[in-house]
Amino acid sequence: MIKKMHDIGIRSEHAYLAGIASIGLSVASWIGSLKAEAAGIERADRWGIFVGEWAPTFIGIGIALSHYEQHDGSLAHIHES
């Protein structure tokens, strides 16, 4: 999957930016849900947490892409000492 993402032009920087953007989107969705819906803070918390869970995934993909980029596309060298 990492090779295919790299081959279509997705780089580690893109994944890191998506992670940072998802943190901002998490705050925005929490505020938006709190103000726009009458469901209360519980609903806003659920939206904020749901979107906030995307950040670690994007950061993890960014790390995998970074390793791939540093080792000329060879994932075999990732765990070598």
Per-residue pLDDT of 48-63, as tens digits, reads 788 788 899 999 999 9
Q: Taking 70 as the threshold, does the pLDDT of residue 36 lie above it? A: no
Half-sphere exposure of 21 (CA within 13 A, CB side): 7
67 found inside a domain: yes
Q: Taking 70 as the threshold, does the pLDDT of residue 72 lie above it? A: no
Q: Which two tokens stand for residue 35?
A: 């103000």
pLDDT for 57 equals 94
23 found inside a domain: yes
81 found inside a domain: no
Q: Taking 80 as the threshold, does the pLDDT of residue 77 lie above it? A: no
Supply the range of the domain harboring residue 61. 12-72
Q: How many domains does the chain have?
A: 1
Contact 9, 65 (CB under 8 A): no
2 found inside a domain: no
What mean pLDDT do residues 5-16 have? 93
3 found inside a domain: no
Whole-angstrom distance, CA of residue 2 vs CA of residue 67: 10
Check residue 77 and report its DSSP letter.
G
Write down the pTM of the prediction: 0.71
